[in-house]
Chains A and B, each alone.
Chain A
Amino acid sequence: MNLIDRMANLDRRWIFLMMGLAVGIPIIVIGITGKTLPEEPTPLAQAAFDVLDGLEPGSRILMAWDFDPASEGELGPMATSFIRQCAQKGHRMYFIALWPVGAQMIRSSTSRVIGGYYPDLVYGKDWVDLGFKAGNEAVIKTIVTDFAQYFPTDARGTSVNAIPMMEGITSLADFDALVNASAGYPGSKEWVLYAATPLKKPLIIGCTGVQAPQMYPYVPNQVQGLLGAIKGAAEYESIVNNWVRSEQLLDALESGGITEPTSSELAARFAAAPSEAVTWTTEAAAASMSPEAKTKLIELATAPIPGIFLEAQRRMGPQLVAHLLMIGLIIAGNIVFFATRRRGGSQ
Chain B
Amino acid sequence: MKRPSSLLQTNSILAMLTVMIVMVVMVMVSGSFAAPPAPTDVVAEDLPADGGGAAMVTWTIPTGVDGLEGFQVWRTEAVSETTSRVGNERGAALLGVQNQAYQNEYQRLVGVEGVAPEDASMQARIVARQAVIDQRDSVTPTETGPHGRFWVLVDTVSADTDRLQVGKLSPSDEYRFMVYTVAKTADGGVAKSEASAETGMVLPAASGIDVKRLPLFFILLLLCGSVLFFIHWARSGRPITIRKIAGLSAVDEAVGRATEMGRPILFVPGIQDMDDLQTVAGITVLGRVAKTAAEYDARIEVPTSRSLVMSAARETVHSSYLAAGRTDAYNPDLIYYVTDEQFGYTAYASGLIVREKPAACFYMGCFFAESLILAETGNSVGAIQIAGTAMPSQLPFFVAACDYTLIGEEFFAASAYLSGEPDQLGSLKGQDMGKIIVGAVLIIGCLIATVAVITGSESLMHAVDWFKDSVLSA
Contact = CB atoms under 8 A, between A and B. Distances in A.
The reply to whether chain A is a binding partner of chain B is yes
Between B92, B94, B380, B392, the greatest number of chain A beta carbons within 10 A of the residue's beta carbon is seen for B94
Contacts, number: 63
B85 A168 contact: yes
B90 A167 contact: yes
A168 B83 contact: yes
A268 interface: no
Q: What are the 9 tightest A-B residue pairs by CB atom distance, in nearest-first order?
A: A168-B87, A167-B87, A167-B91, A168-B84, A164-B91, A164-B95, A210-B393, A164-B94, A167-B90
13 contacts: A70-B342, A70-B343, A70-B369, A162-B132, A162-B133, A164-B94, A166-B91, A168-B85, A168-B87, A168-B88, A171-B80, A211-B393, A213-B393
Contacts of A214: 392-393
A168 B85 CA distance: 7
Interface in A153-196: 158, 161-162, 164-171, 173-174, 184-185
Contacts of B244: none
A171 B81 CA distance: 11
Given A171-B80, A211-B393, A184 B132 contact: no
A12 B401 CA distance: 14
Given A70-B343, A214-B392, A170 B132 contact: no
Given A173-B80, A200-B168, A164 B132 contact: yes
Given A164-B90, A211-B393, 20 more contacts: A68-B342, A70-B342, A70-B343, A124-B98, A161-B133, A162-B129, A162-B132, A162-B133, A164-B92, A164-B94, A168-B83, A168-B84, A168-B86, A170-B83, A170-B84, A184-B369, A185-B272, A185-B368, A210-B368, A210-B369
B136 interface: yes
B88 A167 contact: yes
Interface in B339-382: 342-343, 368-369, 380
Contact of A184 (B80, B368, B392): B368
Interface in B120-178: 129, 132-133, 136, 168
Between B83, B91, B92, the greatest number of chain A beta carbons within 10 A of the residue's beta carbon is seen for B91
Interface residues of A, number: 27
B95 A174 contact: no
B414 to A, nearest CB: 22
Interface in A6-36: 12
Interface in A25-84: 68, 70
Nearest to B78: A173
A122 B80 CA distance: 26
Interface of A: 12, 68, 70, 122, 124-125, 158, 161-162, 164-171, 173-174, 184-185, 200, 208, 210-211, 213-214
A168 B91 contact: yes
A248 to B, nearest CB: 27
B380 A12 contact: yes
A165 B369 contact: no
Between A70, A162, A171, A211, the greatest number of chain B beta carbons within 10 A of the residue's beta carbon is seen for A162
Interface string B49-90: 000000000000000000000000000000010011111101
Contacts of B132: 162, 164
B129 A158 contact: yes
Contacts of A213: 392-393
A324 to B, nearest CB: 20
A171 B53 CA distance: 15
Contacts of B85: 168
A166 B83 CA distance: 11
Given A184-B368, A211-B393, A214-B393, A164 B168 contact: no
Nearest to A170: B80
A164 B80 CA distance: 17
Contact of A125 (B80, B95, B394): B95
A238 B203 CA distance: 49
